[in-house]
Structure 1
Amino acid sequence: MVLVGYTVEATDGEVGAIDRRTYEGRQVLVTRADGALLKVDVNTVERIDHRDHKVYLGVSRRELTPR
Structure 2
Amino acid sequence: MTLVGYTVEATDGAVGRAGYEGRQVVVTDADGERLQLDVNTVARIDHRTHRVYLGVTRGELRPTNRR
Aligned pairs, number: 64
Moved over 6 A (4+): none
Q: More helix per residue: 1 or 2?
A: 2
The whole-number CA distance in structure 2 between the counterparts of 1:45 and 1:56 is: 6
TM-score (norm 1): 0.87
Q: Which amino acid aligns with 1:17?
A: R
Counterpart of 1:45? 42
Identical amino acids, percent of aligned pairs: 69
Specify every segment of 5 or more residues in structure 1 that has no aligned partner in the other structure, as ranges: none
Specify every segment of 5 or more residues in structure 2 that has no aligned partner in the other structure, as ranges: none
Deviations 1:14-54 (A, max 9, x none): 000013xx21x532110001100011110011110011000
Counterpart of 2:11? 11
Q: More strand per residue: 1 or 2?
A: 1
TM-score (norm 2): 0.87
Tell whether 2:24 aligns with 1:31: no
Q: Which amino acid aligns with 1:2?
A: T
| CA RMSD, 1 decimal | 1.1
